[in-house]
Amino acid sequence: MTCVWCELAPVANLPFGSVCEAGVSKSVPFARWLRLHLSETRNPTIKAPSGHWQLELPGAVAHGRKGKMQGPANLSTKNNKRCDNGYCSSTKPFLNPSRRCSRRQTPFPCAPSPFSSTSYSRLFAQITMPSLGRLFTLALWIGLLTPIYMFLEKNLEKFYIFDHEHLHDLSKRAIATHGNDTRSVVNYIVTELNGLHPTNVNLDEEWVFNNAGGAMGAMYIIHASITEYLIVFGTAIGTEGHSGRHTADDYFNILYGTQLAYVPGKYEPEVYPQGTVHHLHRGDVKQYKMDEGCFALEYARGWIPPMLFFGFADGLSSTLDFPTLWTTTRITGREMISNLLKGKF
């Protein structure tokens, strides 16, 4: 029988206990140590003599080195004494190492009170107090961050440097000038944007595969920041998939080909030919398809970081194309950090 003594109040503060696994003594958090013993014992009893707790665990003996019983590492054993007449001489939690318990031993003489469910619940209420502290800390952080988020949400427009109407007009002018020569269309767009925002446009055409929502294509990141991204996305052979439900408005300016979209309840597809723009509102979701070849200038404005989970999900759970994931992370992170350092949020 393992006999553990402790005051009620300090139970939650006892950090370590010892358990014996395959003949090896291991230190574990005290709360886990106590729960482990309770779970392994069919008939645990808890008794409360003189404001202390005695926990009797038949058959669940914790051994330390040299066969000695070992309890929480910070327990004071200096003043441990036998209890007589229902009183204990030590006021600190302690484990009595002087007597080794066995299944045949009787409880200590200072444990006359019977076990009660109320005492049991009080003991575990003390053990779980740290979790209440964590909940309080979480609530405090939520309380502090919510006003900041609300302020930024109301002022998002001030952080944008691109205008979706200008991008649509620019796309139409590029198409009118170069037609189906998509490479020249992209160069036309990037050149004008670089003239307007020379420090916020990536001129290196670093194309990388993108798998998201079951669709596969390639993208060239022109701009990426906390509140905006601008890319050229498409494929020469067609694809389809889930649009994702995003924390930003998405404007899909078709530069070449046609995009189809579908929402539940409709019997006809939405059709977006070359020169049109498909606006996926923040929080909405659609199925989309690009028949054969299709490329678009995609502009998103809102909260961009949460969208990255959608962009990485297929790579982490399906394709497992880690080199592509690394390249995407490197380019996106580089552009976001670079823009932050330039004062672009």
Other C-beta atoms lying within 10 Å of the C-beta of residue 27: 15
Which pLDDT belongs to residue 121?
55
3-class DSSP state for residue 305?
coil
State how beta strands 294-302 and 248-256 pair.
antiparallel
Residue recorded with tokens 């009170």: 113
CA-closest candidate to residue 54, choices 132, 110, 131: 110
Residues 39 and 96: beta-carbon distance below 8 Å: no
Average the pLDDT over 199-221 and give the result.
Answer: 97
CA 161 to the chain's CA centroid: 30
Question: 124 pLDDT band (50/70/90 cuts)?
Answer: low
Cα separation, 180 vs 164, in Å, equals 22
Percent of the chain surpassing pLDDT 70: 62
User: What is the edge-to-edge ordering of all strands in the sheet holding 270-272?
Assistant: 239-242, 287-290, 259-262, 270-272
φ/ψ (deg, to 5) at 96? -80, 105
Q: What is the pLDDT of residues 134-191, one digit of tens each?
A: 888 889 999 999 998 888 888 899 999 999 999 999 999 999 999 999 999 999 999 9
Domains and CATH numbers, the chain: 2-129 (no CATH), 160-341 (2.60.120.10)
- Smallest CA-to-CA distance from 250 within 193, 301, 311, 306 is with 301
For 64-121, how does the pLDDT look when each residue is reduced to its tens digit (9 = 90+)?
333 333 344 433 334 333 333 333 333 333 344 343 333 333 343 333 344 444 455 5
Calpha distance 319→331 (Å, rounded) = 20
The pTM of the whole model exceeds 0.85: no
What's the pLDDT tens digit per position in 247-269? 999 999 999 999 999 999 999 99
- For the stretch 31-47, pLDDT in tens is 555 555 555 444 444 44
